[in-house]
Structure 1
């Protein structure tokens, strides 16, 4: 797997409950159904729950960011994790380097924030999905799959 994770669109060629983001010393746990009392929804349909409100700057389009994440399929299986890779994902937000749901959400979360994010398939990998790099007859993310992420905004600059 590439160090920048599945989220980088350029590398792929692609256009819920009270859990917190696991640190490098913790193992991610299976997400559960969203707590609707705490969950907010964007106009595009992305849902999110702030687990820890950050106090740092909020990224502007084009800013460089470092983000720790763990991505879950709806059944709770982890399909990708910067935590497991041992370093946060580095990206420029708002430039299409990540899935559209991420580009939207990363512009809303201040540095230091931890959040659970539910991204509809259309704002993730859509009808294409993501093939398993070791077996192109299987999918890591099946087509038309909604995704769940635990994220931590590590750095904004």
Structure 2
């Protein structure tokens, strides 16, 4: 009985993905991808992947807009390397102006205010080959070179 259920579940997933591909061919929307943990995500042309956990209903940012964003940044092994939540206040930035890593400039333009998303950013769109040195010990890295990053993001406000 279980194998029959699994067959139908797999068939339904395949149908959903193939019909999604037909719709994507007609638009410029990011491509869905099934990740190892089976979360359906979107992929931008540059390779940033994201899953919208909560779609916001607020303003959509345009390049140059000011934003307030809560974030928690994770290394691939799950360790947190930085968090505005633990600092008690969201980050203020102008999106699309190079004030943050390129992967953020790209993804924040896709998320309206009120959105929450998990974002996977390739190393080339994060800190690349230079990484980020530990400010307390220059011989070590907070973010090693060529490290892909994961972020939990919340767009608090766009103005």
CA change 1:59–1:125 in 2 (3 A) is same
Distance in 1, Cα, partners of 2:36 & 2:59 = 27
Distance in 2, Cα, partners of 1:35 & 1:57 = 31
Count of residue pairs brought into register by the alignment = 125
Deviations along 1:40-77, one digit per CA (max 9) or x if unpaired, are 10000000000001001110000000000000000000
Gaps of 5+ in 1: 1-32
Higher helix share: 2
Alignment of 1:3-82 (within 5 A): 35-82=37-84
TM-score, normalised to structure 1, is 0.78
Q: CA deviation at 1:38?
A: 1.6
TM-score, normalised to structure 2, is 0.77
Higher relative contact order (CA 8 A, sep 6+): 1
Q: Over the residues paired in the alignment, what is the CA RMSD in angstroms?
A: 1.1
Gaps of 5+ in 2: 1-34
Runs of 4+ in 1 over 3 A off after TM superposition: 33-37
